[in-house]
Chain A
Amino acid sequence: MDLLRIVTAGSVDDGKSTLMGRLLLDSNALDDDVVSAVRDASKRYQSDSLNLALVTDGLRSEREQGITIDVAYRYFSTSVRKFILTDTPGHVGYTRNMVTGASNAEVALIMVDARNGMVEQSRRHSVIASMLGIDHIIVCINKMDLVNYDEEVYESIKTRFTSLMTRLGVTNVVYIPTSALNGDNVVDASDNMPWFTGDPLLNHLEQIPVRAGLDTLPLRLPVQNVIKPQQAGYDDYRGYAGSIASGVLHKGDRVRLLPSGHETTVASIETPRGPVEQATAPDAVTIRLADDMEVSRGDMICSPDEWPQTSSTVGAIVCWMDEQTPMHEGAIYRIKQATRSAKALVNGIEARFNITSLKGEPEPESLQLNDIGRVILEVDEPLVYDDYATNRITGSFILIDEATNATVAAGMIGRPRFSFSLNSGNVT
């Protein structure tokens, strides 16, 4: 059994929470007492039938306002695999939560209300899903019951999304007409839409390949801790602990240490189940090296042939998340990238991306809450990284405002997989 992480996104009232509730109910993931608690709560919140959204809307204010305000995690499994569903809020003020939910997802499930078609938030979420490099997108055209299960409505929405997804460089997109409320095409195929010949949602979720290709990338092992046991008998022991970000590591492999550039050999690999000959991403390991080297937290153990980049100047896409203060040129933040923590100066804001027009506005004054832009950072220590497009773990970072300790930005090093046309030329 493997593990698939899914994020759901969409606009307010598209029925995300209802779809989640339906998926859990129809796949028998809910225990009886939970169903009856939801039934009781449904009555209290003036709902005639079972209000499926109450399965996931757990906070008091959400139940009162009938909306989702924070990321909720749900778990279920079928005979095929275990699923982690991350339900993210659709309200525009909560875009940062969409980024939170989507950053670890392998599949994005974008919900659209069939009556409204593509709205601003669907575009924003599609752009974020593409920027975050999510390989599989499923567009659920929901509330089909409210448009008489009309095939033409479905087709016209699908056509608009197809052209957006093409522009965004997303190739694996599946479209499903659903009614989460009634259960059409969620777990079971719909009798109301015989014209739809595709699989229901759950079948797709069971078939999508999990984290394909991580082991074919070159080795990257960011060092988290140096383990030096204090007890007797371990005087010379130095272990380097960390999670393999990509690639395969063998005992005896030649490795390159960065940023120092020294090379050595892997003497042993320890895992939670004891010593092994070989480990693969995302295993948490402790390795020992053949030579006595100066290695510490923040350093990266890499393939000797295919190196990451090492530089203190990086260009990156950032999604700005701070409500209080916008990002300005000249500001200094704490950057956390892989296991490295350093100070980063914003040396320039190249462009701000307009989600609606998909155009870039060159050299904006600042980046405001929910803005996505491209910036140049000057870091006080060299970062060891890959482009985010090739490696999600070594190519990502967060920025922390040290005055407030807030996480103010999510960053992706390099360029997005699609190009934004600038009013004056192209950012590519």
Chain B
Amino acid sequence: MTASRSRPDIRAEYKHLLDLESESIHIIREVIAEFDRPGLLFSGGKDSAVLLHLAIKAFQPAYLPFPVVHIDTGHNFPEVISFRDKITKQLNVELVVGSVDEAIATGSIPPPEETNGSRNRLQTPVLLDTISRGGFTAVFGGARRDEERSRAKERIYSLRDESGKWDPSNQRPEIWNLYNGHIKAGQHMRVFPISNWTELDIWKYIATEDIELPEIYYSHRREVFERDGMLMALSPVMQPGPGESVITRDVRFRTVGDMTSTAAVASEAKTPEEVWIETANTDISERGATRADDRFTDAAMEDRKREGYF
């Protein structure tokens, strides 16, 4: 990022971002006050980068008083893993990693049927195991309600039972800014401080705050192939099938999940400002454009969340 880039004045132009920021920090501080062992789920994506940025702000000048938790599916983009390592070191925060590859190797989860298939469902047991082994009683996540319909119905404090499951019909009323953090042994709370942010808010905030992201969020030249109308990145775990040919394109990623399920979009946007202009003008939603995993059924996310998915 160039130093000469002029940053918009957040106070004057984006009063609503300040309100969202205050709300998120309030939530993060409540969790630290009321839970003995919180952790922050960090995927290396833009939402978790914003969440981490807010958590740092909530306690400065003190260091972040809890660890960052990452579930390494083994199919992550290498750029995201190196960003994770760099940022946690730079911010002096503890990193806890749960590894899907390791869980398969030790036999704690059954080996996948296809070697390079989606690891979406495989990461759920690893996530739950990492939470219970780490003794985490509250886990922050960067989910936003505007991402998807079932997320639009989830509370900021989302109770998970002893087996990590979400019960959408039995959510606690959430009134004013008073959160009920009471849990029983074995349960844990997922907490979503940026629930009320939209994709556009995230980009405006990244631009005004100069938040660093993995470089694949910005336009870069990459070998891709087209599948089901989406541009998939060529990688060891993602190879073209019959009739699919590899092409070189200027692309960026709108969301960052596994290489097997996250598609790129054609884009020339090289800075947060350019991305936000592109986001403001797009006709396709974030998940609809880029996430193969949400396309199965119209309740795909709800089903995965019920099982304990983040």
Q: Which residues of A contact B (CB under 8 A)?
A: 1-3, 31-34, 37, 40-41, 56-61, 63, 69-75, 77, 81-82, 84, 96-97, 99-100, 103-104, 224-225, 227-231, 234, 237, 239, 241-243, 270, 272-273, 282-284, 286, 297, 321, 334, 336-337, 339, 341, 392-393, 396-398, 400, 402, 405-407, 410
Contact = CB atoms under 8 A, between A and B. Distances in A.
Contact of B153 (A40, A58, A273, A397): A58
B22 A58 contact: no
B61 interface: yes
Contact of B57 (A77, A272, A341): A272
Given A73-B196, A84-B196, A228-B62, A407 B172 contact: yes
Contact of B16 (A1, A99, A104, A402): A1
A264 to B, nearest CB: 21
Contacts of B20: 3
Contact of B150 (A41, A59, A75, A270): A59
Interface of B: 10, 13-16, 18-23, 25-26, 29-30, 32-34, 54, 57-63, 145-146, 148-150, 152-153, 168-169, 171-178, 180, 182-184, 195-196, 198, 200-201, 282-285, 288-289, 298-299, 302
A168 B275 CA distance: 48
17 contacts: A2-B19, A31-B285, A32-B284, A33-B285, A33-B289, A72-B152, A225-B59, A228-B62, A229-B62, A234-B61, A241-B58, A243-B22, A243-B25, A272-B21, A272-B22, A392-B176, A398-B175
B61 A334 contact: no
B168 A70 contact: yes
A184 B20 CA distance: 32
A313 B32 CA distance: 29
Contacts of A77: 198, 200
Contacts of B57: 272
Nearest to A270: B60
A284 B58 contact: yes
B50 to A, nearest CB: 12
A393 B176 contact: yes
Given A33-B284, A82-B16, A405-B182, A284 B21 contact: yes
B173 A282 contact: no
A239 B58 CA distance: 11
Contacts, number: 173
Contacts of A228: 62
A227 B173 contact: no
Given A103-B175, A407-B172, 11 more contacts: A33-B283, A56-B149, A59-B153, A73-B152, A77-B200, A284-B58, A336-B178, A336-B180, A392-B176, A398-B176, A400-B182
B18 A283 contact: yes
A237 B60 CA distance: 11
Contacts of B150: 58-59
Contacts of B184: 405
A81 B302 contact: no
B59 A227 contact: yes
Nearest to A5: B196
A296 B299 CA distance: 45
A104 B176 contact: yes
Nearest to A69: B169
A31 B175 contact: no
Given A272-B57, A284-B29, A61 B14 contact: no
Nearest to A234: B61
Contact of B33 (A59, A272, A339): A339
Contacts of B62: 227-231, 234
Contact of A99 (B169, B173, B177): B173
